[in-house]
Amino acid sequence: MSTPKFPSPSTPVSIEGPLKVLLLENIHASAEEMLAAEGFAVERLKGALKPEELEERIQGVHLLGIRSKTNVWEPALAKAPNLLAVGAFCIGTNQVDLKSANVHGVPVFNAPFSNTRSVAELVIAEIVMLTRQLGDRNREVHLGQWRKVATGSHEVRGKTLGIVGYGHIGTQVGVLAESMGMRVVFYDVMTKLPLGNSRPTANLSELLESSDFVTLHVPATPSTEWMIGAAELARMRKGSCLINASRGTVVDIPALASALKSGHLGGAAVDVYPTEPETNSDGFVTELQGLPNVILTPHIGGSTEEAQAAIGKEVATSLIKFVRSGATTGAVNFPQVETPLIANTHRILNVHRNTPGVLRDINKIVSDLNANIHAQVLSTDANIGYLVMDLDQDVANPVCQAIAGLHTDIKTRIVS
């Protein structure tokens, strides 16, 4: 295992004036309202930032909000010693280097199911659209062409839907599909409770071979990278359809384009791509453009007003709780601590390298400064320890300064 790249601060996090928040990618106004109501200085931008732009803009920022398109990697984290937390206003967190964020003492919060239903509903719509070739019929009539045909159009009732990744979204899709009379099978690396009449397949091949529609709902991980390539597409039934609203790295697009051009697949709906534009004004090119019965959408699976408003509130709530009390419950990359504030104390939040003797050194500082500990909670993972400590108000500041000077320190601040 490679040695993590820890930062070496010697002072507590600098917070002078209002906390600085940078929200990117048109995050819903509900988040800005909540964060501004806390007295934070919020800047909200419409688009994503390229890595080099982020490295520039992140300096001095305390809270960063992103969606799926801004990559938060080590070079940016290294330039943001005051960064307290990242809010991913979405489900996926593959765009953040979670390990780097962890060793920089930066918890990453997401919204694990606020847009789940929106994705599931889009997928259901696409199943019907694909089987009735609605995209093509719609385009033709707009162009003044009248092609009233039944050939190749089917009802979904009685057809088999194969769901790859039977998590939050996959299960919702399954429940909705059964209500339309579809037979549902699923494949997941974990053992999952089958909802309704759905049943698991023994492996991915069995699912591909037995489904009329295959829909993908896996996260972007090394195990899902290009998991649907030429070999997997060849296993799918002739005339069947593929739907990908998961991540662009899951499907080999050139292989999908070949399977569609050859007529092996009857159609596809694709919402996510290996490379996506950063803003709505950038152009976009994919090999799938212009192919018959192919629905292409611009990563809008979770883009409904309901989902975005809920995500804005959910992630802003996590960020505010973390700022005010250090609560890390729900952070996807951090030891979990949530403990009530104690009146008339000051709270020190300390992230440190998880090496032997750190707690001894910290407690020696506390003891040397004759400070009384009202509460102390430590939670650790392989690389870091996260310590929440409530002290008498008059000693908290010198204790915080001294802890930040330890060679094991990563990030320290006071909540008062």
Ligand X SMILES: O=C(O)CCC(=O)C(=O)O
Ligand Y SMILES: NC(=O)C1=CN([C@@H]2O[C@H](COP(=O)(O)OP(=O)(O)OC[C@H]3O[C@@H](n4cnc5c(N)ncnc54)[C@H](O)[C@@H]3O)[C@@H](O)[C@H]2O)C=CC1
- Smallest separation, CB 62 to ligand Y (Å): 27
Tokens of 304: 């409904």
Tokens of 344: 């008339």
Out of 19, 90, 122, 337, point to the residue binding ligand X (CB under 6 A): 90
Shorter beta-carbon distance to ligand Y: residue 162 or 167: 167
Residue 350 within binding range of ligand Y, rule CB under 6 A: no
Sheet holding 108-109, edge to edge: 41-44, 20-23, 63-66, 85-88, 108-109
Out of 3, 191, 223, 344, point to the residue binding ligand Y (CB under 6 A): 223
Residues 96-125 that bind ligand X (CB under 6 A): 115
Residue 12 within binding range of ligand X, rule CB under 6 A: no
Shorter beta-carbon distance to ligand X: residue 95 or 100: 95
**Interacting partner of 193 out of ligand Y, ligand X, none (Cβ under 5 to 8 A depending on kind):** none
Q: How far is CA 238 from CA 72, 125, 198, 259, in A?
A: 41, 21, 23, 10
Site string for ligand Y, 94-123 (x = CB under 6 A): ---------------------xx--x----
Rounded Cα–Cα distance for residues 64 and 20 (Å): 9
**Interacting partner of 58 out of ligand Y, ligand X, none (Cβ under 5 to 8 A depending on kind):** none
Rounded Cα–Cα distance for residues 58 and 55 (Å): 6
Element (H, E) at 41: strand 41-44
Cα-Cα end-to-end distance for the chain? 38
**Residue number, nearest CB to ligand Y:** 167
Task: For residue 5, give every residue at least 6 positions away whose Cβ sits within 8 Å of its Cβ, in sequence order, or none.
Answer: 74, 78, 100, 103
Q: What are phi and psi of 100, to 5 degrees?
A: -65, -45
- Smallest separation, CB 228 to ligand X (Å): 17
Site string for ligand Y, 175-204 (x = CB under 6 A): ------------xxxx--------------
Residue 14 contacts residue 82 (beta carbons within 8 Å): yes
Site string for ligand Y, 274-313 (x = CB under 6 A): -------------------------x-xx-----------
- Smallest separation, CB 182 to ligand X (Å): 24
- Half-sphere exposure of residue 118: CA atoms within 13 angstroms, side-chain side: 20
Out of 92, 152, 200, 239, point to the residue binding ligand Y (CB under 6 A): 92
**Interacting partner of 67 out of ligand Y, ligand X, none (Cβ under 5 to 8 A depending on kind):** ligand X
Out of 214, 218, 253, 268, point to the residue binding ligand Y (CB under 6 A): 218
- Piece of 149-157, 159-167, 195-203, 314-322 that binds ligand Y (CB under 6 A): 159-167
Shorter beta-carbon distance to ligand Y: residue 82 or 246: 246
Residues 307-346 that bind ligand Y (CB under 6 A): none
Out of 165, 174, 330, 385, point to the residue binding ligand Y (CB under 6 A): 165
Task: For residue 133, give every residue at least 6 positions away whose Cβ sits within 8 Å of its Cβ, in sequence order, or none.
Answer: 152, 153, 267, 292, 293
Site string for ligand X, 23-62 (x = CB under 6 A): ----------------------------------------
CA-nearest of 283, 249, 287 to 268 is 287
Rounded Cα–Cα distance for residues 277 and 47 (Å): 10
**Interacting partner of 116 out of ligand X, ligand Y, none (Cβ under 5 to 8 A depending on kind):** ligand Y
Helices 305-325 and 29-37: crossing angle in degrees, nearest 10, is: 20
Rounded Cα–Cα distance for residues 14 and 19 (Å): 10
Residues 58-87 that bind ligand X (CB under 6 A): 67-68
- Smallest separation, CB 67 to ligand X (Å): 3
Shorter beta-carbon distance to ligand X: residue 306 or 368: 306
Rounded Cα–Cα distance for residues 256 and 198 (Å): 27
Residue 164 contacts residue 123 (beta carbons within 8 Å): no
Tokens of 254: 């050139």
Shorter beta-carbon distance to ligand Y: residue 16 or 305: 305
Residues that bind ligand X (CB under 6 A): 67-68, 90-92, 115, 302-303
